[in-house]
Structure formats: structure tokens, C-alpha cells
Amino acid sequence: MVAIFKKPPDPAAFDKYYETVHKPLAAKIPRVVEYRTSKVYGSVKGDCPYYFMAELCFNSKEDLEAALGSPESVAAGRDVRNFAKNLVERFFIEDAFVPAGRKVWPWKDEG
């Protein structure tokens, strides 16, 4: 699951709240095997409307679905309203691996 956040009005307040309140809540969600966070600093077009991304990784779709119904996930989801109600979009994603040496894009070989 990926949550991407638009630029908040007060980035320092967002960062502090995320690190001290939200991240500990989200870290309690069961079946998470990896929890990654990233700051967005730009795009190929220059400026970007996004500020921050969080990714919670699971071993399977079934583990994700089970986690979403947990009290810990519900609590973390409700907490988003406290600091990023209109700033966040959430997506469900699945990894797509490309073996080394295979073409990733028509113009670029990996290897």
C-alpha cells in the first residue's frame, strides 16, 4: 500500500506529527514486512505537488486485506484525518520485477 501526500501548509509540523504520532501507529499494523518512507523533492517537470510517500509492504494481497481490517490499521487510517485529511491519496500496488539484462524501457537495456 502506498500513501502519497501533497505538500502540507506547514512541512515542519507535518514531519513532526508523522514521526512522533502517525508512524508509531502505522508501525503497529499487523503483517507489514517493510515500512518505507520517502520525501519527494521534484519531478521530471521540475516542481511537484507531492511532499511525502509512505509504503507498507506485505507478503501477499491476502495479508494486506487482513491487515486493512485490523484495529491497528483502522486507528492509523483515522489518524490521517488529524494531520493530512485533504492531502493524501492511497493506492494498492503490486511489485513487478524485471530480471537483469531485460529491457525495462524501449530505449534502455538493464544489465
Question: How does pLDDT run across 57-78, given as a tens digit for each residue?
Answer: 999 999 999 999 999 999 999 9
pTM above 0.85, yes or no: no
Q: Check residue 102 and give its pLDDT.
A: 62
Q: Check residue 11 and give its pLDDT.
A: 96
User: What sign does the CA torsion over 66, 2, 36, 15 have?
Assistant: negative
Please say if the pLDDT value at position 80 is more than 70.
yes
User: Is 109 exposed, middle or buried, given 0-12, 13-18 or 19+ CB atoms closer than 10 A?
Assistant: exposed
Please say if the pLDDT value at position 10 is more than 70.
yes
